[in-house]
Amino acid sequence: MPTEKHFKLILKDQGHDIYMPRRSQSWGYRYGPSIMVHNGICEAWFASPGDGYEADWFTYRRSEDGGATWSEEKVVMSPVPDSMDWFSVCDPSVFKYGKYYYIGYTSTVFSNGGGVCNNGFIARSTSPTGPFERWCGDGWGQDAPDGMRWLGKPAPVIYYDEDWHNWGAGEFSFVVKDDTLFIYYTWTSKDRNGKAVHETRVATADIRDENWPAHLTYHGVAVTRPRGSNDSYDMVYCEDLGKFVALSTDYRFTEDSLLAVYESEDGLIYRRVNEIKAHTGWMCHNCGISGDEQRHIRSGDTMLLAYAYGNQWGCWGTRMHRYSFEGMYESFYSEKQELNVHHPVEKWEDPVEYVPTALYLKAPHILRMKVGESLKIPMCTMNVCYESRPAETGVKFSNYDKEVASIRCGKITARHAGMTYVTATLAGLRCEFPVYVYDTDPPATVPMKPYPEKKVVFFVPLIQEYRASLLHQEMKQLRGLCTWSDGSWFELAGKVDGVTYINRNPELFIVDEEGHVLPTGRLGSGTVTLDCGGHSFDVTVTVVE
C-alpha cells in the first residue's frame, strides 16, 4: 500500500561521463539510456547514430562494479530493412519477464518528413544483446523453412493515427506490478484547433499473456508534459513507498535544464513532486533511471540515472549519476533556484585500433537479384567513431532459404524466385537482411515515398477502427498502406497521394480530402471507404465523449 510520504530524489555529486564523441567526429551521441540493475550486474541500452541511411541503432554496455566502469559497446539492434521500422530504432526501453528481455522502441516510415508520424514497436530476445524478434501483429518473429526463425516484419503496438506531419507516438517506458504490465508512451501532436498536444499516455496488459501486445487496455493520459520542454518519462516502482515514480528532464536543451520527478499511487495518474537542479548537467535531455528486471527500486539497490547533454545539436555527452531517495511528508520539493553545472563536451581520443562495433549490409540493406545472378555480398563494419570498412573476410552467413539462394565464400547466387532473410555474423556482431529473387530483371531499389503515378497492387488498412474524441479535439487521419507493382510501398493519406474517401455517415463526422475526421458533435459509429488506384477497404470511425 502507498505510504503518506512522497518520493525525494537525491543526487550527491556531479556524476561522470560514460560516453563522449571522439575527436575525429563532428557529432555523436548515446541518448535515452534504458538501465537495468539485477543480480549484481548493470546493463544499459542506448540510442546511437546509424549508418546514415538508417537514422539510429541501439548499442549495449554492461557493468559489474555498480556502474563505475563499463564494457566496450556493440550494436545489438538495428531496423528491419523493407519494413515499418526501416528508418530507425530509437528511444530504447527494456524490461525482463520470464526468459525474455522486451525492448520498446520508436520508428517511422516517414523519413521524407524528417522522422515524423512515429509509431511504437516491441521486440524480444532471450539475450540482452539479441537477436530481437519483432512483434509482427499476430505473434513474435516469423516462421521460416526447415524450422528456422527470422526476426519478422514489425507491426506497431502503438499506432499513431493523427495527422502525419506531427511527431507522433513512441518513447516507451514499462513497469511490471504484480501481473500487470504498465505501458507508457508519448503522444506528440496538434488538435483540430492547432493547439500542441504533449502527453504521456498509459495502457496496461496481462504480462502472463505471451501475446500481450495484441491485448492492451488504454487508460488515458498519465501526465501532460508542460510547455513541450518536458522530455519523455522513464518510470519505476518504488517498493519502499508503494508508489510509481517517473523521471524526465525539463527545460531540455537549455541552460536552465533540470530533472523533474513525478509520482503516482496507481500508475495511471502522475503529479510533479521534485525538481532537481543542483549537480545536474546543463543542456540535458532524454534521461533514463535504473530499475530491476521488472522496473522496481528499493533501498539498498544500486541506483543509477543518466542523460545526454551538450550545447551543440547532435554532439552530446552521456553523464551518469548514482542517486538515492528518501520519503518526505511535504508534497513538493524544488531546487529550481539552484545552479546546474555547465559541463563542456570534451571529446575523447580516438581509439588506437579499429575495433568493429557493428556489422551491416551496405545501404539500402536489401539485395534484389535475378535468377542465376551471383554477386559478392557487400558487408561492412563500423567502429565507435563510425568509421566504416568493408568486411572482406570472416563473415559467416546462415539461417536462409537454400531453395531461394546459395552462399559460398561470401558470394550469393540467386536460385529460384522468392524471398529469404540472411543472417550474417562476425566476431559476436550480427545483422539480418532480406534477399528478393526475381525471374525477370529486379526493380530498382527506391526511397520510401508516395508514388501516385504507379500501378497499385495492394491498398490495405493499418488499423480497422479510429476513435475520435469530442472533448480532446483530436485530428484523426485515415491512412492506408499501399504497395505498387514494382514492390515499393508507403503509407498514404489524402488527395495528393491519390486516396479518396467515401463517408457513409456524414451526420456523425466529416472527412476532408486529406483524410482528417471532423466530428459534427453527435456520438456513434460510422463507416468510411478508402480507395487508391481502384483498391479499397472500409474502416470504422467511432465518435466518443
Residue 161 has φ and ψ, to the nearest 5°, of -115, 25
Mean pLDDT of 421-431: 97
CB atoms within 10 A of CB 365: 21
Q: Measure Cα distances from 158 to 122, 154, 170, 446 in Å.
A: 9, 12, 7, 27
CA distance 325 to 330: 14
Cis previous bond, 79, omega within 30: no
Which residues, other chains included, contact 543 with Cβ-Cβ below 8 Å and sequence gap of 6+? 467, 468, 469, 470, 508, 509, 519, 522, 523, 524, 525, 526
Q: Measure Cα distances from 359 to 44, 138, 385, 425 in Å.
A: 20, 29, 14, 8
AA letter at 331: S
Contact 422, 400 (CB under 8 A): yes
Residue 452 has pLDDT above 90, yes or no: no
Task: Give the pLDDT confidence score for residue 447 in this predicted structure.
Answer: 63
CA distance 389 to 267: 47
Task: Give the pLDDT confidence score for residue 3 in this predicted structure.
Answer: 83
Task: Give the pLDDT confidence score for residue 124 in this predicted structure.
Answer: 98
Contact 312, 253 (CB under 8 A): no
Residue 355, C-alpha cell as written in the block: 575495433
Which residues, other chains included, contact 244 with Cβ-Cβ below 8 Å and sequence gap of 6+? 175, 177, 182, 235, 236, 237, 238, 263, 264, 265, 266, 267, 270
> Cell match 538495428: residue?
78
Per-residue buried b or exposed e for 305-317, using 16+ beta carbons within 10 Å of the residue's own CB? bbbbbbeeeebbb
| Rounded CA Rg of the chain | 24
Residue 422 has pLDDT above 80, yes or no: yes
CB atoms within 10 A of CB 111: 17
Mean pLDDT of 192-212: 96
Nearest to 160 by CA among 184, 192, 185, 142: 185
Residue 306 has φ and ψ, to the nearest 5°, of -150, 160
> Cell match 503509407: residue?
491
**pLDDT mean across residues, the chain:** 95
pTM of the model: 0.96
AA letter at 462: L
DSSP conformation class of 291 = B
Contact 412, 437 (CB under 8 A): no
DSSP conformation class of 110 = B
Task: Give the pLDDT confidence score for residue 540 in this predicted structure.
Answer: 98
Task: Give the pLDDT confidence score for residue 500 in this predicted structure.
Answer: 97
Task: Give the pLDDT confidence score for residue 446 in this predicted structure.
Answer: 67
Per-residue model confidence as pLDDT tens digits over 258-300:
999 999 999 999 999 999 999 999 999 999 999 999 999 999 9
Task: Give the pLDDT confidence score for residue 504 in this predicted structure.
Answer: 97
Q: Measure Cα distances from 283 to 249, 257, 309 in Å.
A: 10, 6, 5
> Cell match 560514460: residue?
18
Per-residue model confidence as pLDDT tens digits over 112-156:
777 899 999 999 999 999 999 999 999 999 999 989 999 999 999
Residue 515, C-alpha cell as written in the block: 483524410
CA distance 479 to 355: 44
> Cell match 543542456: residue?
283
Domains of the chain in sequence order: 6-334 (2.115.10.20), 358-438 (2.60.40.3440), 456-544 (2.60.40.1080)
Task: Give the pLDDT confidence score for residue 23 in this predicted structure.
Answer: 96
Q: Give the residues across from 271 on adjacent strands.
A: 263
Mean pLDDT of 91-111: 97
DSSP states of 354-401 as a string?
Answer: ----EEEESTT--EEEETT-EEE--EEEE-TT--EEE--S--EEES--
What region does 99 belong to: left with phi over 0, alpha with psi -120 to 50, or beta? alpha
Mean pLDDT of 384-395: 95
Contact 66, 145 (CB under 8 A): no
AA letter at 303: M
Task: Give the pLDDT confidence score for residue 80 in this predicted structure.
Answer: 97
Mean pLDDT of 4-12: 95
Task: Give the pLDDT confidence score for residue 444 in this predicted structure.
Answer: 78
